[in-house]
Amino acid sequence: MAEIVYPPVIGAARTLFRALDLKIRIEGAEHIPRTGGAVLVSNHISYLDFIFAGLSTLPTKRLVRFMAKKEVFDHKISGPLMRGMHHIPVDRAAGAAAFGAALKSLKGGEIVGVFAEATISRSFTIKEIKNGAVRMAVGAKVPMIPMALWGTQRLWTKGHPKKLLQRHVPITILLGEPMHPQRGDDYDAVSADLRERMAAMLDQAQRSYPEIPPGAWWQPRHLGGTAPTPEEAAEMDEAEAKAREARHTP
């Protein structure tokens, strides 16, 4: 397919990151296959995660087709960009269409990016994940690659003001060894294994992160930060969901 939009967007992002002197560290890029499909499964801590997750495949000169909620495609600015980069819209009321589109991309040799937690983690820990990524990997007969992002939450995350032009922010991008789920596996058990791997990678990224001030809002509670605990974050998510439902109830 023609790539008219994606390369210029990547170029613009990299130019901006260099101007801001973001300290981007990518480890494990060798786990990205040079050819063929793969499911890239990342944690989700920022509205910008798809940009940084996409950088992980640049050493192999490959592009990622991310699955993102339909509302992003409906936006007058982000919509044309997302469609131009051939990302995959997800309508939560009709998820089968998105799943089918992802399978088609994977079978066509594309890398598909998935945020398995579905929504941003306010606690900056790994939330529970469903088995959709595993089912996609099995259905397309492709590997599944776990990923951990850290530092992106400092630029723009849920419940905090945007700081898109903040300078010198370290960004960590870790990729783990590919997983190869097979038909007949317990998909929930494989998803639990995936979550454990992602949690271990995220913990590694968090503990090796430079210059952490005491009580930082962007640091998880168990590491001395002031982010909500997973339990508090779950309560906040539930309250937000109820409020959203109330707004859309006639």
pLDDT at 163: 97
- Is there a domain that residue 225 lies in? no
Name, in order, each residue with C-beta under 8 angstroms of 119's C-beta and a sequence gap of 6 or more.
44, 127, 237
- pLDDT above 90 for 244: no
Tens of pLDDT, residues 146-168: 999 999 999 999 999 999 999 99
Which CATH number belongs to the domain containing residue 132 in this structure? Answer: 3.40.1130.10
Residue 83 lies in a domain: yes
Is 0.85 surpassed by the pTM of this model?
Answer: yes
Answer whether residue 220 is part of any domain.
no
pLDDT of residue 2: 77
Tens digits of residue pLDDT in 89-133: 998 777 789 999 999 999 999 999 999 998 999 999 999 999 999
Which run of H or of E encompasses 24? strand 23-27
| DSSP label at residue 84 | H
Domain extent, residue 105, equals 6-215
Among 141, 202, 138, which residue's Cα sits nearest to residue 176?
202
The verdict on residue 238 lying in a domain is: no
Is residue 244 assigned to a domain? Answer: no
